[in-house]
Every structure is written in C-alpha cells, then in structure tokens.
Chains A and B, each alone.
Chain A
Amino acid sequence: MEEGKIGNIEMLCIIVNAIVCKAFFTSITAVIQRVGTAGWYMTLISAALALAVFSLVSVLIKAYPGKNILEIFDEVLGIKLGRLHTFIICLILLLASSITLREFADATKVYLLHETPPGFIVGLFIIAIIFVSFLGLESIGRAAKLFSYPLILAFIIVIVLSSQRFQAFGIYPLFGYGIDTTLKNGIVRSSAYGEVILLGIFAKALNNSKDLKGIGYKSLIISSALVSTVLLSVILSFPYFIAGELMDPLYIIASLIDYGRFLQRIEVVFIFTWNLSTLIGLTAVFYGSISCYAHIFNIKDKRPIIISFAITLYILTLIVPTTSIMIDYVVPNFRQLGWIGFYLPILTAWLIWFFFKRRKQADAKEN
C-alpha cells in the first residue's frame, strides 16, 4: 500500500485541481440559480465549513502519526465499521468522478465535438486516467505540478481579458435571494470542497501531519479563491437571470473576449485549461477511490483493479440517459447530499476518538 513520498506543492496541486475542475461546468449555474448574486461569497461559506471538517481530519492524523485516515477509521471504529466508512468514501469519490466526467463529456459535446459519441469522449478520457493511474500517485503529483503553472496562467489570462465585459452592478442586490438562503446553500453545498478528504487518504505520501495541515488549509483557501473568482466573473459578466440559464458560463465568458480583429476567439486557451485541470483532478479522485477499495480488501497492488474501476467509471458516467436528468437531479442531489458521504465518516470517527479514545491515548502515553 506504500505510495512513496510526494512534495507538498505536488499534493497542493492535486487537491486544488480535484476541487476546482468542477467549476468549469454546470455547478456555477446551479449556484447562481439558488443564491443569485450572492454566489461568489456563498462558496466561501462552503469552503469555511470544509475547512472545519478538514481540521478534524488533521486532528485525527496528528493523533495517529504515520497512519492515513482509512487506517484511522479501522483503529477508531473497529475493522468492520471502519471499512464500511472507507467504502462510503470509496463510493462517493467514484460517484464524484463519474459526475464530473459526465459534465465534462456533455460540455465537450455541446461546444466542441458535437458529432462525436459521448462514449468515445469518455472512453478516451478514461484511457488517459488509466494511463496516469498506472504510474501511481507520484506521477499524478508530478503531472499536477507540471501543468498547474500554465493552467493558472491560462486561467488568469481568461479572467483578465474577460474583465472588459464586467459590470459592477452584477453583484447587486448584494444578498442575492436572502442571507438565510445563502447560508443554507453554503452549508449544504460544502461537499463541493469534499475532495480535500483525498489528503487524508494520501496522508502517508506526505512527510508529517504538520505538512498535511498546511497543505489542507492552503488548498482550501486557494480553491475557494479560484471558485469564488469564477463565480464573481460570471456574476459580473451576466445578470443573475441569464447566468442561471447557461450550460457552461465560464466557456461563454471566454468566447465573449473580443479586443478587435486581432484578439478574439481565444476560448481555445480556456479549453486547454478545462481539459488538463479535469484530467488531473479526476485522476486524483479516481485514484483516491481505488486506494479506498484497495484498503478495504487489503489489496497490495492497485494496478489490477484500475481497469475494473475504469470500466465501472465508464458505465457510471454514461448510465444517466439525458443531460436534463443529469442537471435536474443527479448533480444537484449529489452536491446537496454529498456532505453525507464526504464528511459524516470523518465526523463519526472524530466524535468516537474524542469521547472514547483520546483519554485512553493520553493515558497510554503517560504510562
């Protein structure tokens, strides 16, 4: 199960890509439909909650040095209950990757490859995921670091160039559909940052719990800043009633960049960002899911299960028959209920550790 070590920046890039890649698709529209002009700070509320949950992961990792969160589940909850919690996380990560991949495939089909069958787009993407997964976490980390610099540069270019269409009135009324609605949605949709749990799964690849804590906080701060920037850009570019209609608002923002005859049609820069970030992010989530599965059944070599997981991912991605079902039911329900899968196992483990194990640990240390 040993993964080898990866650098802090590599891990930071993995987590940020895993969280942020969702912002390129319909999630932005869904947020604006629910909270209107308050979307840009609603996501900060979600991030704050995710930060609080991550603090619990960090405390658990510190309490059990040298162990990852899955091993801590076994330790705190017992093997059966611990593995059940791991299974929930495995399932939620696999579902998260299938939903994002489906959104990616739909967006690609709508805007770029409209005659290509979705199965072909998903299939090619999964081949890339398999390829990187076979090389292991170290390679995912290196790829994440290598591509993150040009990705962030491309992202900044797109946002700066699209600022020509920003209109300050877009953020008014400041409270959107009301503070209570914003707060409620901010809390419920905190699972948007749930991928931070990957840090707990990959904890042994880091040097110590202090690094883990730092990376977790930094990744959540950077991710929330990026997601908030995307939301703010959309809100400033389109009035709330239009932003709530768009399939992929960030792509449309990029396509509106027009600085005369010689600088227009630069959405290809955005497509580059969109593809690479999704590839890195999804591979990390997919690999996290495989790690969970391997832990449940004590599988030492993950490679044999990569293919079977990839086939499952392919089926899960394409099983929803229409985009409308995806946008109306699957994505909203997953975003609203995702916290159960992402956060509940951690909360349970932390509560049991805090009330039943902590004192014993302290006593054992004293003796």
Chain B
Amino acid sequence: MLKKISIIFILFILTALSTSCFDDHEVDDLAFVTTIGIDKGVADIWRFSFQITNMKSGGKSKESGGKEAPKHVTLTIDAPAFFMATNVLDATIARALNFTHTKYLIISREIAEEGKFADVMGPIIRFREIRRTVTVLVSDCSAEEFIDNFEPRIGISMARLQEGFLLASDQTGFFPEIKLSDYYSSLKSTYRQPIAIMGGVNDFSHLPQKDGQESAPQMYIGEKYAGQLPRKGGNNIDFFGTAVFDGDKMVHQLDGYETRVMLMLRGEFKNGVFAYPDPLRPDLDVAIDLRQHSKPKIKVVFEKGKSVIYVKIKLDGNILAIQSRINYEKTDMIGYLEALVKTTIKQQADALIGKTKALNVDIFDFGHHVVKSFRTIQEWEEYNWIERFKDAKVIVEVEATIRRTGTMIKSSPVITEEGKR
C-alpha cells in the first residue's frame, strides 16, 4: 500500500513539474525573423536588418483605421555586434526576436568585398537558434534595401517565396544553393573556397523600351548579373549568379551561364534550359533542356609535383524547340545538337577554369578529389591545395546525349505559296 502511495505521490510531483518549465514561451511573446541583413553601419560598426513576419497578416489584415497592416516588418539598427542589436530590438518591440525560422542571411557586397563577413558570422553560426540550413546570399545593393524589396508580389506567403527561390536553383541552375553550413565550412576549408548566391534588386529599368528604332543588339540574358535582368513585373528581387570568395573576401562575380558550368563541374547542376544558335541556321535558335546525367567523373594524377585533373561531365538533353524546323530528331542529324552542346559547354568550362585559376580560387571542389592522393592530414595541409590550385592542369571532357525530342519526333516545313520553308 505504501509503495502504491509513494508511486502516486512521485507521479503527482512529476506531473506538477511538467506543467511548465523555465523555457515556456507563448507564440505571441516572439517575433519570428525570416531574413537577416548585414551592412556596414553608420552610427556603429554594423547595420543589421531583420525582416519579421507580422503575425497579424495570418488573420484579419486590416488595421483599426481600415488601412491594411503590412505582412512583413523590417527592423534596422546600427550596433557593434549581432547580439547587441537583437537585445536592443527586443526591448523596443516588446517581443523577443526569434531566429528559429530564419531562412536567409543577406550580406551586402560592400562587406563581402572588404572581407569582413567572417567577423560577424562567427557569433551567428554559434547561435543555437540559427539553423545551419540558412541560405547565404550576397546582395549587389545594401542588405537593407534588398530586404525591403524581399516580399512576395505573386501570392502572399513569404515562406512560399523563400522556398520557391531555392527550388528555382534546381530548376534553372542560374544560382547555386548555398547554406550557412556550406559557406562556413568552405571558409575554413583546406579543400575549396567559398561561394554564395548573388542577389540584387531589379528596378525593371534594364528592359529596353520600343521607341520606333531598329531592334537593339541581341542580349545574352545568361551573361547578365543579379539586378540587371531585362525584365519587368513580378518580384523585384533577382537571384542570379555566384559570388566567388578567396577566404572571406569576395573577389569575383559569376554570371548565370558561368554559374551553370560551375555547378556542372561541382556535380550540383540539376536542370536548365539552354538556347544555342542552330548549327545549320545560326540566325535561329534551338532550345534544349539539359540535365546532369551523373556526378562528374574526376581523376587526379600528379605530374612533376603538379596535379592534373581529368573531368568528365555527362549531360542528358531533351529538345524543347527547333526554330529552323530542321529534322535534328533523326538519328543521323541529332549528332549536330550533341556536338553543339559538347563544344559550347567545354568552351565555357575551360574559360571559367582559366578565370578561377587566375584568381587562384577552387570553387569546383577539385580539392575533394586531390585529397585522396594524400595519406595524412599533415601531408595534405603541407601540400596546401588552396595555394596550389593555380598550378593545376584541368582537362575537361563533355559527353552530351539528346535522349528525347519532346512531344514531336519530326519537324515538318511550313508550306507557303513560294513552296516549303
């Protein structure tokens, strides 16, 4: 009997202790930050911007005066350190800023180019609320301006917009998907150098207007940079291209095409539409949907102490459009398109590798393969791959196979009174 009473007593105590704990918080005690922006400060070292979701927008979004409440609020503050900024803001908004739902970390290009990001990132990565799956982006403009414009114009969900951008990386290959964990480990890496997504605010001024003149020279859209895409309407944020770092200092910016080739060399390219001049009618284009068949096969050999890296990229393609209506679908003609893809991608890869060797930054993860030739960490660190990348010889081979021809298996000519065209 005493035993039963003891058990019941203990259970009562445990129940009482479990009703609440020191860490209990009501949802409305917190302000959930979705995006963090970091700029150089004016009144202090750093300027931090925090985009928080206004939880009012989930329900009625009308304020008392009938005015619509903003769905997202951006708080900006100059402070000497990240935690000082959050602490001061906690006091002013009467809620605690909470970073468990933060998706993006935006750094201004100015900070990235000065190599100061590592100074502020240390405390951020140590912070338990910030997940290492946060996406890292360098903004061409100030982070504050970027965040001010970072809100959905299509649909209302910020979460959907933020996730949607990440899906777009897989669907287009115009920018990499870089998480805080990747960026941080690259920063300290003996294998590779860091990269980040390039972003920018597009004011829609880059779309040439029709003013009755002759058509403007053709623009290669993939060669543009974030914030400069010739477009109008929709979200005025561009995720396009790649920021290339040497350690913590941004040293270069890759355009959309270069980013795709970089992703192919890293084995991270998923899918993207490529438009090339028709091999037999260069005035017209062919459009091919390319996918990476598998991770590139990379072999490293050493010749006279220098590494020679053989890279084999395998691509699969689907024909999307043949403006010339030439029958490339036929077995004896499809080789034209495959050769076109091979040649173009190889040229782009060679050019990009040459460019990165000049900068001496391995953004292709070649170090991951070179390290296999070393037995111990001491030998590897002594070899110093980061310093030696510029001396490496890289030989790229591209294999492209057009697997499918879309919904058509033959392109018939257009019939006019002048005959077939």
Contacts and interface: CB of A to CB of B under 8 A. Distances in A.
Interface of A: 36-37, 110-117, 120, 124, 127, 131, 167, 169, 172-178, 238-242, 252, 255-256, 258, 260-261, 264
Contacts of A37: 377
7 contacts: A37-B377, A111-B128, A124-B17, A173-B379, A174-B375, A176-B376, A239-B190
Contacts of B372: 169, 172
Interface residues of B, number: 32
Given A252-B132, A256-B133, A169 B369 contact: yes
Given A169-B372, A173-B379, A177-B378, 8 more contacts: A112-B23, A127-B10, A169-B369, A172-B372, A172-B374, A173-B377, A174-B375, A255-B132
Contact of B23 (A113, A240, A264): A113
B248 to A, nearest CB: 15
Nearest to B377: A36
Interface in B187-233: 188-191
A112 B378 CA distance: 37
B23 A115 contact: yes
B133 A258 contact: yes
Contact of A241 (B17, B189, B369): B189
A174 B374 CA distance: 8
B378 A169 contact: no
Interface string B123-143: 000001001110000000000
B379 A120 contact: no
Contact of B190 (A113, A238, A241, A255): A241
Contact of A256 (B22, B181, B191, B365): B181
Contacts of B368: 167, 169
B185 A238 contact: yes
A255 B22 contact: no
A120 B22 contact: yes
A175 B376 contact: yes
A177 B128 contact: no
A254 to B, nearest CB: 11
B8 to A, nearest CB: 13
Contacts of A178: 376, 378
A239 B191 contact: yes
A301 to B, nearest CB: 14
Nearest to B166: A260
Contact of A242 (B184, B365, B377): B184
A239 B189 contact: yes
Contact of A116 (B21, B159, B365, B376): B21
Contact of B380 (A173, A252, A256): A173
A116 B17 contact: no
B23 A114 contact: yes
A258 B14 CA distance: 35
Contact of A115 (B22, B133, B371, B377): B22
Contacts of B10: 127, 131
A261 B23 contact: no
B163 interface: yes
Contacts of A264: 133
A176 B377 contact: yes
Interface in B1-52: 10, 14, 17, 21-23
B188 to A, nearest CB: 5
Contacts of A175: 375-376
Contacts of A173: 371, 374-377, 379-380
7 nearest A-B residue pairs (beta carbon): A169-B368, A116-B22, A172-B371, A115-B22, A173-B374, A242-B185, A115-B23
B156 to A, nearest CB: 16
Contacts of B163: 260-261
Contacts of A241: 185, 188-190
A178 B133 CA distance: 33
A267 B179 CA distance: 18
A174 B372 CA distance: 8
A178 B377 CA distance: 8
Contacts of B190: 239, 241
A122 to B, nearest CB: 13
A2 to B, nearest CB: 19
A113 B25 CA distance: 11
Contacts of B22: 113, 115-117, 120
A177 B382 CA distance: 12
The residue among B179, B365, B372, B377 with the most chain A CB atoms within 10 A of its own CB is B377
Interface in B104-150: 128, 131-133
Contacts of A117: 22
B376 A169 contact: no
A170 to B, nearest CB: 9
A286 B373 CA distance: 47
B185 A240 contact: no
B113 to A, nearest CB: 25
A127 B184 CA distance: 40
A173 B376 CA distance: 5
Contacts of A127: 10, 14
Nearest to A265: B131
Contacts of B365: 169
A252 B127 CA distance: 12
Contacts of A238: 181, 185
Contacts of A112: 23
A37 B381 CA distance: 13
A36 B17 CA distance: 43
